[in-house]
Each structure stands twice: as structure tokens, then as C-alpha cells.
Amino acid sequence: MAESQELPISADLLEILRCPACVREKEGLLKLVKNAWLVCQDCGRKYPISDGIPVMLIDEGDKWVNTSENDLPVPPPRPD
């Protein structure tokens, strides 16, 4: 039996979102981590998903860039 885990955002949105810091010069592809974070595969910035809304602010991604994926809190803290 396949495990069906509901995504915190729509699959269509996940497919088109890109890291705002990287998208002009690189692909800025994001991967979903812990079903609560979007992590840029180019720069490593980590963007929280808060109440189903990705917080795609570069400053927010910068806060978590040095945090390992395993150490990201779930649920993410609310942005300042």
C-alpha cells in the first residue's frame, strides 16, 4: 500500500516556485523537506511553510542557511 502524505502546498505551486535569491542566475530549484520547508538546491537557503504559505523572503531563507536539514524545526517558527 502506498503512503499518501498530503503536501502542505499544491504540487503545481511546488513545481513553479524558485529561490528568489538564485532564480536570475541559476535554476533555484526547491525541494520539500520535512513537509514544512523549501530548500534551495543551489544556495541552501531554507524557506519555511507557515499555515500552508511558503515564506519566500530572502531574509527568511538567510536565517536558516547554516541549519542542517535534520535540525530544521517542525513546525517552523512563525516569521518575524
In a domain, 74, yes or no: no
What pLDDT is recorded for position 3? Answer: 45
In a domain, 21, yes or no: yes
Which residues constitute the domain of residue 62?
11-67
Put simply, whether the predicted model's pTM sits higher than 0.85 gets the answer: yes
Extended strands (E) in the chain: 30-33, 37-40, 46-50, 53-54
Q: Is residue 2 predicted with pLDDT exceeding 50?
A: no
What pLDDT is recorded for position 5? Answer: 62
In a domain, 33, yes or no: yes
Distance CA(6)–CA(19), nearest Å, equals: 23
Distance CA(1)–CA(58), nearest Å, equals: 39
Number of structural domains the chain divides into: 1
Looking up residue 40, the CATH number of its domain turns out to be: 2.20.25
Q: Is residue 77 predicted with pLDDT exceeding 70?
A: yes
What pLDDT, in 10s, does the model give residues 27-74? 999 999 999 999 999 999 999 999 889 999 999 999 999 999 999 999
